[in-house]
Amino acid sequence: MYVAVKGGETAIANAHRLLADRRRGDRALPSLTIGQIIEQLGLAVDRVMAEASLYDRSLAALALKQARGDMIEAIFLLRAYRTTLPRFGTSLPIETGRMQVERRVSATYKDLPGGQLLGPTFDYTHRLLDPALLDDEAVEEPALRETDGTPIMRVSDILDGEGLIEPDGNMPEDHLAGDITREPMEFPMPRDLRLQTLARGDEGFLLALAYSTQRGYGRTHPFVGEIRMGLVEVEFEVPELGFAVSLGEIRVTECQMVNQFKGSAKAPPQFTRGYGLAFGQSERKAMSMSLVDRALRTDEFGEDVVAPAQDEEFVMSHCDNVQATGFVEHLKLPHYVDFQAELDLVRRMRAKHAAEQTPDTDQQEAAE
Amino acid sequence: MENRNEGFTGGFPDAVYNSQTVFRTLMDCMARPGSLGLVTPELMPPSPLGIAAGALMLTLCDHDTPVWLSPKLAQSNVAAWLAFHCGAPLTREKSEARFAFLEAGAHLPATGLFALGTQEYPDRSTTLVIEIEAMEGGRPLNLTGPGIRDVTPITPRGLPADFLHQWTDNRALFPRGLDVVLTTGRQMIALPRTCKITALEV
Amino acid sequence: MNQALQSSPETGRKRGMDLLSRATRPELEAAWQALDDRPAHEMLRGPETGLVMVRGRIGGGGAPFNLGETTVSRATVRVADGAIGHGYRLGTDRRAAELAALFDALAQSEQHQPFVEEALLARIEKRQAEDAMQRENETAATKVDFFTMVRGED
């Protein structure tokens, strides 16, 4: 028999009211503004945009405020919002080579055209808490320096000149870029779809996988060829005009990870590359993504799948934190009927078990 | 100038509510094959596209649905209208089309050339929207199948010449196959792939 | 003669639309208010907010892949003289998209083109160049100057 139950409306309404209260916190303190979140918690905003797979700083900040700073909840909110909007189309591919660079470093070449530009980085800070931030102390304006106008060349183009590095990844001529938000996942998955999945994947999950490849779970010997962060133009081909117009600029972070490769039956010794690209200033994410991208390319290089980071189905199926949290968190919702059934089953199994045990014991005793 | 404008005007006055209304109408028609649906919103698709066919285009087609147009429609302002209001890509490959539109009197290509879906995803097939002359006055046909209690008689006038023959082939593919909507002016009737059509002797 | 009139109509229009997508809402409102003869107009589409899928390239320059979506607002208007204007911009500001569409339509008439150029396009272009220069100089100040340390004796 199945008994449907209802109830809890008042409890739910009051729980949400209490949630709103706790979110707001002490009314004596001013409420956070969206502008403050965008300006002062910008990297949290960036992470929400990257993993929600939706670029909109204001909405990401709103989501963060509404979610009380819970990143995955904020990502979930933004993902839910995007499903309410029609899609106008697809942009032309952004050209990271023409980026208005705000940071660019290479670990492989000291002197490279355009130089090492540190930008706004946590690197080289001492990781000491700064009590000055307890008060609203004035912050210095950034230093300025004239530029010599040298184009900031892509590091992969430097190595490419010698033929020592694989070229940018190409797909077969007739391949149309797939879209995981439109078609269900199928394995094996082409690299373009893997990159889309990784770009929206959970930063923590990808970081752990990337770390595992460095610790020996999958063969890699990586160098950061280049990390660049800055503004790129988004251009959109407008059907009614017959030409592409610019929609504005977005900030992205790109990582070119260069890996030594000894060569195999399929490819000669060379440097191979893993690629990472993420919305916003999301360096850890872009780096992790590039390591995992490279690890997953076992098929192209004839490598054996021996580690989790190389297992396409495992990585692709588990890197989305909205899916993951949905399945894990649903366990706390009422399962009363399922559990009653299990309870009944376990009782019966125990009774049967006990019934079987008893004669056994008797026999054993008899034998002794 | 006037010609160019035709691609821009004549869309739904209220895109959200109008498309929901038309979607509901189509859904009811699909659920009860042969029943007559009426498109109420004011819209003016470029000729030779009919009002109901235009309403279906605005309601169903978007960026993710490649559309095939009959040669005559493809040369008309319908192509620009489709691009502006729906953002849907045109395709010359019938097998890539999620929707296909034919004006009244257009030649019906072999239905097997359109997307017929796969066993795993039978929904990935083309929906054909065919304009006819009138819903009455044609050869009497009886519809039977899911969504029909006993039998629904229809008398469409101006069906493509070998439509009935092709429909028999289409039925044999089930669960794969095309779905068809017949339109004339503001009216539509739906013929989902489950529908059996029997021609009555006149 | 200004740049827009010297170039082909298409590149002139593209330049205008590109710049209008960067205009702030206050800039657009101010220019609209400053217009003496605000034309009657009808909306042909929108203003509406939707999504555009942003593509990247594998390895930075290879085959395209879908990176993620962005919000985009757009509008299409027809002004009294029959000109049709389109406004497209990142974000959810539909009013700004509508105003951008109006100015795109106005920029197509000889009568209003100089106003649009002066009140909006030239200003946005200047502000954009200044912002880019500022950012570039801020970034350049964080450039590493390496000093070669000589070790040992020769």
In chain B, what are the domain boundaries?
Answer: 4-199
Collect all residues with Cβ–Cβ distance below 8 Å to B23 and sequence separation of at least 6.
B59, B60
Nearest Cα neighbor of B70 from B90, B51, B52, B86 is B90
pLDDT at A302 over 90: no
Q: Residue window 106-135, chain C: list those with CB within 8 Å of chain A.
A: 132, 134-135
Contact A285/A293 with Cβ under 8 angstroms? Answer: no
**Structure confidence at residue A365 (pLDDT):** 54
Q: Residue window 76-105, chain C: list those with CB within 8 Å of chain A.
A: 76, 86, 88-92
Contact B59/B30 with Cβ under 8 angstroms? Answer: no
pLDDT at B77 over 50: yes
**Structure confidence at residue C3 (pLDDT):** 43
B192 touches chain C (CB under 8 A): no
Q: A88 vs B8: CB contact, 8 Å cut-off?
A: no
Handedness of CA A260, A264, A270, A274 (dihedral sign): negative
What distance in Å separates the CA atoms of residue A149 and residue A155, rounded to the nearest whole number? 17
Q: Residue window 110-129, chain A: list those with CB within 8 Å of chain B.
A: none
**Structure confidence at residue B80 (pLDDT):** 92
Chain A adjacent subunits, 3+ CB pairs under 8 A: B, C
Which ipTM value was assigned to this complex?
Answer: 0.92
**Structure confidence at residue A358 (pLDDT):** 73
Q: Which of A286-290, B144-148, C34-38 has the lowest mean pLDDT?
A: C34-38
Judging contacts by C-beta atoms under 8 Å, the chain B residues touching residue A86 are: 62-63
pLDDT tens across A240-268, in order?
888 999 999 999 999 999 998 877 777 77
pLDDT at C5 over 50: no
B23 touches chain C (CB under 8 A): no
Q: B5 vs C48: CB contact, 8 Å cut-off?
A: no
What distance in Å separates the CA atoms of residue B154 and residue B179, rounded to the nearest whole number? 17
Average pLDDT over residues A180-188: 92
Q: B84 vs A86: CB contact, 8 Å cut-off?
A: no
**Structure confidence at residue A168 (pLDDT):** 87
Domain extents for chain C?
Answer: 3-138
Write down the mean pLDDT value for chain B: 93
Q: Highest-confidence range of A31-35, B6-10, C33-37, by mean pLDDT?
A: A31-35
Nearest Cα neighbor of A198 from C70, C72, C58, C71 is C58
The partner residue sitting opposite A88, judged by closest CB among C50, C57, C58, is C50
pLDDT at A84 over 90: yes
Chain C adjacent subunits, 3+ CB pairs under 8 A: A, B
**Structure confidence at residue A97 (pLDDT):** 93
Write down the mean pLDDT value for chain A: 92
Amino acid at A315: V
Collect all residues with Cβ–Cβ distance below 8 Å to C109 and sequence separation of at least 6.
C81, C83
pLDDT tens across C15-59, in order?
999 999 999 999 999 999 999 889 999 999 989 999 999 999 999
Tokens at residue A310, please? Answer: 């190389």
Q: Cis omega before residue B46 (within 30°)?
A: no
Instruction: Please give, rounded to a whole number of angstroms, the shortest distance from the CA of C49 to a CA of chain B.
Output: 12
Q: Which fold is adopted by the domain B4-199?
A: Rossmann fold (3.40.50)
Q: Which of A345-359, B43-57, C53-67 has the lowest mean pLDDT?
A: A345-359
The DSSP symbol for A94 reads P
pLDDT at B3 over 60: no
- Which H/E stretch holds residue C16? helix C9-20
pLDDT tens across A97-125, in order?
999 999 999 998 888 888 999 999 999 99
List the beta bridge partners of residue A104. A117, A228
Tokens at residue C114, please? Answer: 């100089």
Amino acid at B124: R
Phi, psi of C73 (to 5 degrees): -115, 145
Q: A147 vs C90: CB contact, 8 Å cut-off?
A: no
Q: C45 vs B84: CB contact, 8 Å cut-off?
A: yes
Search chain C and give the residue with CA nearest A254.
C60
What distance in Å separates the CA atoms of residue A241 and residue A248, rounded to the nearest whole number? 18
pLDDT tens across C90-139, in order?
999 999 999 999 999 999 999 999 999 999 999 999 999 999 999 999 99
CB atoms within 10 A of CB C145: 6
**Interface A-B: count of C-beta contacts within 8 A:** 20
Judging contacts by C-beta atoms under 8 Å, the chain A residues touching residue C104 are: none
B32 touches chain C (CB under 8 A): no
Q: C60 vs A142: CB contact, 8 Å cut-off?
A: no
Q: C51 vs A146: CB contact, 8 Å cut-off?
A: no
Give the residue ranges of DSSP H helices in chain A. 9-24, 34-40, 42-52, 57-66, 71-82, 155-160, 191-199, 203-214, 283-295, 298-301, 312-318, 321-329, 336-367
Nearest Cα neighbor of A99 from A260, A251, A262 is A251
B64 touches chain A (CB under 8 A): yes
Average pLDDT over residues A182-188: 91
pLDDT tens across A123-142, in order?
999 999 999 899 988 999 99
What distance in Å separates the CA atoms of residue C75 and residue C66, rounded to the nearest whole number? 25
**Structure confidence at residue A268 (pLDDT):** 78
The partner residue sitting opposite A273, judged by closest CB among C59, C139, C144, is C59
Instruction: Please give, rounded to a whole number of angstroms, the shortest distance from the CA of C72 to a CA of chain A.
Output: 8
Match 């009216």 to its residue by tokens: B187
Amino acid at A229: M
CB atoms within 10 A of CB A299: 13
The DSSP symbol for A183 reads S
- Residue A153's pLDDT band (cuts 50, 70, 90): confident
Nearest Cα neighbor of C111 from C56, C41, C39, C62 is C39
Q: Cis omega before residue C47 (within 30°)?
A: yes
Instruction: Please give, rounded to a whole number of angstroms, the shortest distance from the CA of A89 to a CA of chain B.
Output: 6
Average pLDDT over residues B94-119: 96
Q: B7 vs A90: CB contact, 8 Å cut-off?
A: no
B87 touches chain A (CB under 8 A): yes
**Structure confidence at residue C6 (pLDDT):** 45
Collect all residues with Cβ–Cβ distance below 8 Å to A88 and sequence separation of at least 6.
A236, B63, B87, C50, C51, C52, C72, C74
Nearest Cα neighbor of C101 from C81, C65, C77, C79 is C77
Collect all residues with Cβ–Cβ distance below 8 Å to A336 and sequence separation of at least 6.
A5
pLDDT at B4 over 50: no
B44 touches chain C (CB under 8 A): no
**Structure confidence at residue B2 (pLDDT):** 38
Collect all residues with Cβ–Cβ distance below 8 Å to C27 and sequence separation of at least 6.
C120, C123, C124
